[in-house]
């Protein structure tokens, strides 16, 4: 895949709130993440609670979660599926990991109150209730879920040409994004979700780089279409 895609398309956007990512790893090795500090077990993973400022690539306090993502059994067990989905659909494996961490905390059987299913929290579709129920069961299978999610995300990135807007459409729906001119909708929940995923995605990319990056350098006008993945 074209590495220029992930950097050129990861454009900056005016977020309404300076979101943070809080988390902890419990005694069973399960990572718990939240945009707020739920209780004293949660520590700041990404963002800056003191000043509200965000420095791209800054990962103070992220070491525990990033290490967990590298070595946790439930994450390692998905590596082959993630690599296959990444190669098939041209979506960075680090982006898939970031979305899964924020969406479901790597719990394959997670089901949201709205009915979103599995690792990437996908809404089952079907022409009948029975068809939707059948798809919901299939989405509990990590392979089907990750392949479906990677395919959906790839289509969104090609449609909108920007990762941030694609993630907004993932969270709020394509209709909502189109209603706001095909850009980032002014919805605090959606903006916070996008912010969290991109924060973790960039931290994962930085962690992967041999010497560590100090900043995210953009190339070309922000309005230009992103390169097409190979």
Q: Which member of 53, 74, 94, 103 is catalytic? A: 103
DSSP 8-state code for residue 226: P
- Catalytic status, residue 20: no
Quote the crossing angle between the two packed helices 188-208 and 163-172, to the nearest 10°.
Answer: 130
Q: Are 199 and 13 in contact (CB under 8 A)?
A: no
CB atoms under 10 Å from CB of 212, counted, come to 10
Identify which of 155, 65, 60, 148 has the alpha carbon closest to the alpha carbon of residue 102: 65
Distance CA 114, CA 118 (A): 12
> What positions carry a catalytic annotation?
103
């Amino acid at each position: 895949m074209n590495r220029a895609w992930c950097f050129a398309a990861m454009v900056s956007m005016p977020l309404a709130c300076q979101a943070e990512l809080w988390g902890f790893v419990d005694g069973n090795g399960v990572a718990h993440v939240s945009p707020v500090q739920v209780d004293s077990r949660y520590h700041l993973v990404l963002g800056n609670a003191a000043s509200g400022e965000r420095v791209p690539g800054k990962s103070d306090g992220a070491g525990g979660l990033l290490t967990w993502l590298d070595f946790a059994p439930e994450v390692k067990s998905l590596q082959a599926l993630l690599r296959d989905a990444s190669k098939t659909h041209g979506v960075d494996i680090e982006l898939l990991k970031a979305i899964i961490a924020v969406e479901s905390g790597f719990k394959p059987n997670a089901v949201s109150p709205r009915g979103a299913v599995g690792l990437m929290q996908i809404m089952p579709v079907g022409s009948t209730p029975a068809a939707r129920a059948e798809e919901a069961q299939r989405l509990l299978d990590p392979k089907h879920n990750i392949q479906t999610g990677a395919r959906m995300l790839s289509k969104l990135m090609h449609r909108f040409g920007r990762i941030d807007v694609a993630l907004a459409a993932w969270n709020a729906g394509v209709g909502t994004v189109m209603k706001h001119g095909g850009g980032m909708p002014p919805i605090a929940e959606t903006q916070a979700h996008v912010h969290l995923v991109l924060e973790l995605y960039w931290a994962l990319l930085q962690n992967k780089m041999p010497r560590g990056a100090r900043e995210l350098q953009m190339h070309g006008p922000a309005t230009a279409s992103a390169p097409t993945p190979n």
